[in-house]
Structure 1
Amino acid sequence: MTEHNNTNASGARPTDGSDGASSGEPLDASWEAFAQEHADDLADVARSRNAKRFEKHAERAQKKAMLSVNDLDQGTFTDDAIGPGRGPRDTTASSWLDTDVVMDRYGGGFTPPTSFAPTSRRLIVFAALTVIGVLGIIASVLVPRFTGMLGTVFGAVLLVGIAGLAASRRGKRHDDPFDDGARV
């Protein structure tokens, strides 16, 4: 830690009764004498812009520090009915990381699906047209002699594939009366 520099001539620390100097006058009296000698300078400092700014800052800090976290008891942050020493993150329920334990407790195990939802042939055709169109455009760049013709053909295939995919998504109806249309 940093040692404090003692500026007294005798090396002794001043007490309330003495300022440590050879004069022997009390500390309060020597402070009063200093204040009277430098009254004009102290008044200028008190009227300065920095002093006013410091006062405003001190007032704001005093208002801000009216309530401290240390002033509140533990029950303020937790439900006192739960019991002492229990916080909002002290839970006795199982974690989502304990999936195996939970599955064993409630029986049954996880059964993976045997197949995906049925996919229409129309959707598969439009997806294939989209992929063929993208690959064809990339390939047309590699064959400079036929770039114009291949680019036009595969560009049209790509547009048909994308339009078909967009059209297949339109008009989906859900029969659930509580379905508000929100999707994840």
Structure 2
Amino acid sequence: MTWQLLKRIARTRAPAEPVPAGGDDWRTECQQLHQQILDVLGRALSIRQIDAGSCNGCELEIHALNNPYYNIEGLGIRFVASPRHADLLLVTGPLALNMREAVRLAYEATPHPKLVVAAGECACTGGIFSDSYAVCGPLANLLPVDVSIPGCPPSPVELLRGILAALRTKTG
């Protein structure tokens, strides 16, 4: 079986279609956003991301911020494990009953001045889960939200714009 597979691989030709041309518009926009964030903050930013009951769509976009395309850690923006080390809470998902107390405790543990960003439609409005018995609604029902980033899920660029907007609310 293995020998047959190797022979078939050897006979298969490379695709004849050309590689699509890619634009670098997103890269220049991200670099500008990174620089604006550093200009506003003047130092590194520590973010504590909290999943308050999401479907993980927003978390996938947040994880993309750490990949080589966006590379936010290379510019001093990092995710931390403890709210005690955070400047900004980035909360995703509708506020689930199970997570209500944990989110409140994380907010209280975050040192002042602190920023709260609701990321995704569910954190902003409760989304499709808003009528569920297990959901308390949007994040604003529990915490003062500085910036809401709509979208299901918001793109990494939209997340960066939201973080920048939150920084501008506190410094500007």
Give the TM interval when normalised to the shorter protein. Answer: under 0.3
- TM-score normalised by the chain length of structure 1: 0.19
For CA contacts below 8 A with separation 6 or more, give which structure has more relative contact order: 2
Max Rg structure: 1
User: Comparing both structures, which one devotes a greater share of its residues to strand?
Assistant: 2
